[in-house]
Amino acid sequence: MPNSSDSPNSPIPIPTAVVCGILALTTAYPLLRLLLGGFLLPGEGFTLGPLMEVAKNSSTWMVLKNTFVVSLAATAISIAIGTSGALLVVKSDIPFKGAITAATLLFLLLPPYVQALGWLQLWGPVGWFNRLASLMAGKRMVVWNAYGLDGTIALLGILHYPVVYLSTMAALRNIPPEVEEVAATFGFKRWRILSRITIPLAAPGIAAGGVLAFVGSLGNFGVPALVALPSGSVVLSTYIFQQVVGFTEVSFAKVTILASLGAIVAVGGLYFQHRLIRKALYRTPSPAKEPYRFAIGRTRILLSAAVLLFLGCAALGPIMALVLTSLLPAYGVRLSLSTATLKNYAFVLFGLNETWRATFNSLVLAVGAAAATIALGFVVARGVARRKGIFLWIDRVGSIPYAIPGTVFALAMILSWVDPWFPLHIYGTRWVMLLAYVARFFTIATRTLAAGFLQLDPSYEEAAQVVGLKPLRKFVRITLPLLRSHWQAALLLVFVTALTELTVSGLLWTSGNETIGVTVYNLEAAGYTTYSTAFSVLVTLLFGFALFLLRRYGTSLFGR
């Protein structure tokens, strides 16, 4: 008699086994190599030598110190901005709530290196802010130079406040209005209700968002590479990049040890975050009601102005600066209607071989990664949503490549694939990048689809089985259409993330296989700022389009 696929008693079905095999190859094996790489050396066996060297080396301590100072300080900024924003939007009667959330999502989605470039064009020593200041003062002056660790901290803080904002918003919406109303009946004033009731109840949500912001800052590559590296300050992600790209060390042992440390901190942090989320969301189950709102009266105008100023300086300003720089005939020239030119765009589009090659590569990789992750995701998402043992483990392991810093995962891929003994010789080809993308974005697809299955009444699929539909037909006629918004959102999310990826491709690319992100970074690193900004503007336009599609199809993902 034939076996059906989803019984706990039957052996693991073939598709699941295939996913396990792929994850073993793209995730488990590289991670194992990463953890062992610093201790198992060819010809020496197990050794603590590299660990000792790392411990004695003052430059590695400096890297660690920079990394944690930058991540923690950026997290503090993210929490401050994200919590205030969420409180204003959920708990007050401030106007333009939709616009605030939309602008916030922009930070989340626009590639960090594009935002970093814009940030530098606005706040750099010859950026538009300092130019304006010089113009007003009548003499050349630099009010603030964004290059360096301080600029990195500020930008990382801004880039990651959206995760705190969204997490806090979810926690605040989860507070039943009665608990605040009852405090009001005791005569508690606004601040007392906020500080004694609202914020303590939302605290796990705020902390969970803070952990996400910390892990995000820890893993970010684009920002420290563009903002801190030129001034000589190195953090973990850029240190790995320098060591790998520069091949300054014959053995990767030392950098591997630091990288594993980063991976462990990130995974530990996310585990902690997971626990916090459960605390924040499952204690007070009364989500249907409108949250209790504080009327803030005339302060509204002041606070709205503050929000607009912040969004102007942090979101709109950098993009404007990016556009303005891209119109300059040469870097440093004064911009006027007569000097403005589109020749940078012309050059990027038609004069630079890499542009189209990189765009083609990125498109191929993005399409491949999106298709592969959705296919893998569909195999496991139902099991993840129904919380079945093996699928939960696949989900956990599969989320690690995305959780750990991208440069660390890229290093793990290199360690695994440079080995000549391994039968698949794909290192240095586009295939290793595709494998890395699939491993890294697997969890985006899986989690998005699992959210869909969670909402899907199982009886729709069961009804299809009972009326006689075979598994494939059931999938095509019932499952796919019913989960349309989810798989489309997953497809777009993976596609746009992969299209503009820099961190992993920055370490894995070889000549001829460059991606869009690598090209923008190389242009900027070589000093062609007018070209890199022009390319970035084009990428931003592409992103605007993707964002439009996401908002159209992915509404269920972002709540509203």
Partner 1 sequence: MSKLVIEGLCKRFGNAIALEEVTLSVRAGEFFCLLGPSGSGKTTFLRIMAGLERADAGVIALDGRVITRGTKHVPPEERQVGLVFQTGAVWPHMTVEENVTLPLELQQTSQGDRKRRAHEALETVELKGLEKRKPSQLSGGQLQRVALARALVTNPAVMLFDEPLSSLDTRLREELRAKLKRWHRDLGLTSIYVTHDQAEAMAMASRVAILSEGRLRQVGSPEEVYLKPADAFVAHFLGQANFVNGIVTSGSRDRAIVKSFFGNLTARCEGRIPCGSSVTVVVRPEDVKFRASDASGGWRIADVEFGGTITRYLLKHEPTGETWCATELGRPTCSSGRTVSIEAKDAWILPPAADEAIEERIWGEGASVG
Q: Where on the chain is the footprint of partner 1 (CB under 8 A)?
A: 1-4, 7, 9, 457, 459-460, 462-471, 473-474, 477-478, 481-482, 484
| Of residues 335 and 482, the one with the C-beta less far from partner 1 | 482
Angle at 216 between CA 412 and CA 445, to 5 degrees: 70
**Shortest reach from residue 478's CB to partner 1, in Å:** 6
**Shortest reach from residue 282's CB to partner 1, in Å:** 22
| Of residues 280 and 489, the one with the C-beta less far from partner 1 | 489
| Of residues 131 and 474, the one with the C-beta less far from partner 1 | 474
**How many CB atoms are located within 10 Å of the residue 298 CB?**
7
Q: For residues 258 and 64, is the Cβ–Cβ distance under 8 A?
A: yes
Query: Which spans in 198-352 are helix H?
Result: 199-219, 222-223, 236-246, 253-282, 299-311, 317-326, 343-346
CA distances in angstroms from 285 to 136, 176, 289, listed in the order given: 56, 8, 10
For 379, phi then psi, to 5°, come to -65, -40
| Of residues 286 and 465, the one with the C-beta less far from partner 1 | 465
**Shortest reach from residue 469's CB to partner 1, in Å:** 6
**The tokens 């004069």 sit on which residue?**
351
Name the burial class of residue 98, with classes exposed (0-12), middle (13-18) and buried (19+) by CB atoms within 10 angstroms of its CB: exposed
| Of residues 7 and 185, the one with the C-beta less far from partner 1 | 7
| Of residues 298 and 470, the one with the C-beta less far from partner 1 | 470
Query: Which spans in 312-352 are helix H?
Result: 317-326, 343-346
Query: Which spans in 92-176 are helix H?
Result: 97-109, 112-123, 128-137, 149-173
Query: Which residues does residue 92 pair with via DSSP β-bridges, in sequence order?
Result: 294
Q: For residues 417 and 458, is the Cβ–Cβ distance under 8 A?
A: no
For 527, phi then psi, to 5°, come to 95, 5
**Shortest reach from residue 13's CB to partner 1, in Å:** 13
Taking phi over 0 as left and psi of -120 to 50 as alpha, with beta for the rest, 147 belongs to beta
**Shortest reach from residue 553's CB to partner 1, in Å:** 15
| Of residues 310 and 475, the one with the C-beta less far from partner 1 | 475
**Shortest reach from residue 481's CB to partner 1, in Å:** 5
Q: Among 326, 319, 332, which Cα is nearest to 127's?
A: 332
- Cα–Cα distance measured from residue 390 to residue 398, given in angstroms and rounded to the nearest whole number: 12
**Shortest reach from residue 380's CB to partner 1, in Å:** 21
**Shortest reach from residue 6's CB to partner 1, in Å:** 9
**Shortest reach from residue 11's CB to partner 1, in Å:** 12
| Of residues 420 and 468, the one with the C-beta less far from partner 1 | 468
User: For 46, which DSSP code?
Assistant: E
| Of residues 160 and 474, the one with the C-beta less far from partner 1 | 474
